[in-house]
Structure 1
């Protein structure tokens, strides 16, 4: 398999590039977990169950909105439409990505995956106009990515605060199907409600002052959205109906 490499977006090298008509929805349709920043948790919780995962290699925490119980599937995509109220920024910026600027240290620029198959030179949404200026779509994605740099820092600060207080709880999600089969999803974490309940007044006030109480509560409430995923799954006659989904404390944390 050819390794895909980010290339800095250029109005010279990519002046004729267009985003293929179905590239964005095809990408979304494969997003079983959509990346979230801490600032998005409240809005995302109104639509999806939200979880945290920890990278065992670098120790970083990330937050995600779950869209299905199966990798490479998104139950919210129907008839080539993403039928949901809130779209995470990571979806809105596709197919642009942040990358380290090749000519300057510790600075970021916009990159694209030229060879991933999302672009055409004949049809689709242009990246640049006839004067080689960014189109409105390119400007919008660039602005969102520019704001993401600060949001990534805020997310790291938020996750560190939770980790320091021992507020992450590892979960095993057991999905029981009507045909008798079952599957287990591991590597997910949520807020440890028991631990949260016994925080000291000083610890709670510190979380409040940093604006962290709302996203913490949003993550807890979002677990109820698992029922929505079950409903969406069972509405599709081609899928094996789900009888029950149980979430249990994992005996060990495994990154999926």
Structure 2
């Protein structure tokens, strides 16, 4: 366990040592502030609901911004190390490949959680400034952000799986984003399969909002997301385990 903790810490520091990941956190924070400002001054005319801005920003983040950030992180922690040859030094250490894989996976997940926290704080504070504390349900907003990490898990493992078949980091980002977009497009074009696609539930937090939460629907979606997570974990970790560097 100590090896895993040390590995996760190293991988997180590796990500944050790159300026682009610090800038991305600043960017996602600015989006929350800007969206609150535009929603206030436009009085909802541009489609922004100023009285529920944190959840509006959350929908934008989980649907578009976070998948891009995940693709970039997967490229840097997996494919880029293959390009530079540093992965060879890592796998020769007295630690299993599975443990190495898990540390990198957890590092990406922690970065996503950090991005969600930044988004939550900036959008919530901005909403309070522009609309007052009475216009916001703090508990409901926190719950929405907390449970939004669940649909990000299969998306993270999807990007990691793509990284295992790419030769360079740029192709990993492009193929991950393109693949994500194709899956979303297919689910829209063919509504009959929409309920079976993991990308359809980036906004599943909406199921928890309201007087009565549809328990059966929540359990069904949760089971589906867990199934995708386990399948993609098995595929990506097996590929990482068997890959020759």
Using the size of structure 1 for normalisation, the TM-score is: 0.25
Q: Which has the higher strand share?
A: 1
Of the two, which has the highest radius of gyration? 1
Using the size of structure 2 for normalisation, the TM-score is: 0.26
Q: Which has the higher helix share?
A: 2
